[in-house]
Structure 1
Amino acid sequence: MIVVIVIAGALMAAGAVGAIWRIVKGPSALDRIIASDVLIATAIIAIGAEMAVNRHTDTLPVMLGLALFGILGSVSVARFMSSRDDT
């Protein structure tokens, strides 16, 4: 079980580092926005994995808040980009 936890943690860390790298080096604003969505999704997955390993639901509101933040952020950016393309 420990091996699976370590491998999952390493993969989540690699995903987070890749997203942070794209946020820093992204050539366009859309690259940075997508990378921030990936980073939020990685944080939600990490919190969910921690909840599964420790068998509790204490951080469920944090997951829901992050999911709401990710959805609202994506929708608002999409609306901003679509209105910017219309002009």
Structure 2
Amino acid sequence: MIDLPPALRNVLLGTLALLALTMLLALWRVVRGPSAPDRIVALDLIAGVSVGVIAVYTALTGERHLLRVATGLALISFLGTVAVARYLERKEPR
């Protein structure tokens, strides 16, 4: 852990709490979702929020190597979302 001012540490911890709440709400949309595109968008949101969690954790601990993990997760998530969207587009009757 790096030495942060207490105010900044509290802001970062609050940010982690809000990101966790966002992840829970997105998980609810994945479970309930009325359609497949809604579920895919929710999964993409979960991946994006995970990138945010990794970034905030990096700011708290100073472990910069985790930013590479966040970048890789963002790229894989984007490519996966595009692939599933193309699949769903071709699957729908015209």
Runs (5+) with no aligned partner, structure 2:
1-7
In structure 1, what residue type is equivalent to 2:19?
A: M
Deviates more, 1:23-32 or 1:61-70: 61-70
User: Residue 83 of structure 2: which of 72, 76, 84 is its match?
Assistant: 76
RMSD: 1.4
Q: TM-score, normalised by structure 2?
A: 0.82
| Number of residue pairs matched by the alignment | 87
Tell me, in whole angstroms, the C-alpha distance in 2 between the residues paired with 1:59 and 1:6. 18
Give identity over the alignment, percent. 36
Deviation at 1:80, TM superposition (A): 0.9
SS at match of 2:84: helix
Deviation at 1:86, TM superposition (A): 5.5
Tell me, in whole angstroms, the C-alpha distance in 2 between the residues paired with 1:54 and 1:62. 15
Q: TM-score, normalised by structure 1?
A: 0.88
Q: Which residue of 1 aligns with 2:40?
A: 33
Query: Structure 1 pair 74/8, CA: closer, same or farther in 2 (3 Å)?
Result: same
Q: Contact 2:30–2:38 (CA<8 Å) still a contact in 1?
A: yes
Q: Does 1:46 align with 2:68?
A: no
Q: Which residue of 1 aligns with 2:24?
A: 17
Runs (5+) with no aligned partner, structure 1:
none
Structure in which a larger fraction of residues adopt helix: 1
Tell me, in whole angstroms, the C-alpha distance in 1 between the residues paired with 2:86 and 2:33. 21
SS at match of 1:57: coil
Tell me, in whole angstroms, the C-alpha distance in 2 between the residues paired with 1:6 and 1:47. 12
